A and B are shown apart, each in its own frame.
Chain A
Amino acid sequence: GIQVEQSPPDLILQEGANSTLRCNFSDSVNNLQWFHQNPWGQLINLFYIPSGTKQNGRLSATTVATERYSLLYISSSQTTDSGVYFCAVVGETSYDKVIFGPGTSLSVIP
């Protein structure tokens, strides 16, 4: 089945810094989402982005489907950005089965 890798596994940032999180996937996808999991376990949908670029406030994401990767940009990070960021995909041959990457654990310190 489709494999999803994320890098870096862990990231520590000073408040106000910028960062880029990467997601690589091994096969063509119909669906790609970025999620933020807060310390209480809630998964928050950040972007639905199977291709192209989207922006929402300090966050933006780009997916280059032909090269099988997606990037999540966080600018002017805040302590509330801390948590785990997951990339999740649905492969073209795995109808509706969402595969999660291992996640990037982000800690933003004051």
Chain B
Amino acid sequence: DAGVTQSPTHLIKTRGQQVTLRCSPKSGHDTVSWYQQALGQGPQFIFQYYEEEERQRGNFPDRFSGHQFPNYSSELNVNALLLGDSALYLCASSSGQEPNYGYTFGSGTRLTVV
């Protein structure tokens, strides 16, 4: 049973560029949440997708956008990258039918903006 898969594992981008990160949820899960974890801090909630729509959003600017596909996989897009966007980006999946049962996290994408 595959867990949550994220790609790429590492990425280096230049300020002002755009980036797309990808996530495939655990088998049987239909809800995907994205988190940003800066060095030495806990993960911060970016947004959550369920039934191909953004269901909740944290305190992140519109430069952060996402998408969920019919197969439940998801993308996180960040436009006009800033140095402060350098972080570990984590994807978590869960079941919309059992939202409080628990979350499974991927290994993350480490983004460095130079």
Contact = CB atoms under 8 A, between A and B. Distances in A.
A97 B100 contact: no
B105 A35 contact: yes
Interface residues of chain B: helix, strand, loop or mixed (majority): strand
Size bin of chain A's contact surface: 20 to 34
Interface of B: 31, 33, 35, 37, 41-45, 48, 50, 55-56, 58, 88, 90, 92, 94, 99-105, 107-108, 110
A90 B105 contact: no
A96 B105 contact: no
Contact of A41 (B42, B48, B107): B107
A56 interface: no
Interface residues of chain A: helix, strand, loop or mixed (majority): strand
Interface of A: 30-31, 33, 35, 40-43, 45, 48, 50, 86, 88, 90, 94-103
With most chain B CB atoms within 10 A of its CB, the pick from A43, A95, A101, A103 is A43
